[in-house]
Chains A and B, each alone.
Chain A
């Protein structure tokens, strides 16, 4: 069964303490990996799309990377406002009529203390 696993489940950092979140997937035919940020009680906010191993994307203090079996979301010098749940999702190849179904991981809850 195709699976998406995020680790750790929760991460507590001090302001300025850089770290990484992991998203690993046991799927075949990956056709895109997506990162989202979700604040409590709100809908997910799109961050990045990665399509091929070796690809990297950056936005402010966030940098997403992709290998053949996992993706990392690196957070450099985080601030308290970076506290949120970070979700990853994968899209699989499903034939010519693929509708773009995303399979989501359970998320990593990031808390950044001042």
Chain B
């Protein structure tokens, strides 16, 4: 079955530690995205990537980093510089911006708790 997988589902870290969230897709989608979701707020874009080896900052990129070495994978690192890292993190992908297909499909999410 095609889809987007995120791991782990729950993640606990101590303050000051970097942590990497995994996102893999087998939909053959070109574009991938990372969002953060907090209670009472809409989804906020952290980073996005249109093609391999290229990515851009979204609205709230400070304290985060990404890489896109393979089409299928778009890992997100939450660094110790992120002041409020506890949140629900969602990865998404879309087929091809170049041909005008913009629907984004989401993974199941990773809930990160930092204490």
Contacts and interface: CB of A to CB of B under 8 A. Distances in A.
A109 B15 CA distance: 32
B50 A99 contact: yes
Interface of A: 4, 31-32, 34, 36, 41-46, 49, 87, 89, 91, 98-107
A79 B107 CA distance: 25
Interface stretch (B40-48, B61-69, B77-85): B40-48
A105 to B, nearest CB: 6
A105 B50 CA distance: 23
Contact of B43 (A32, A87, A98): A87
Contacts of A4: 42
Given A49-B103, A100-B31, A100-B94, A107 B42 contact: yes
A8 to B, nearest CB: 14
B42 A104 contact: yes
B21 to A, nearest CB: 13
Nearest to B40: A106
B56 interface: yes
A37 to B, nearest CB: 11
A99 B43 contact: no
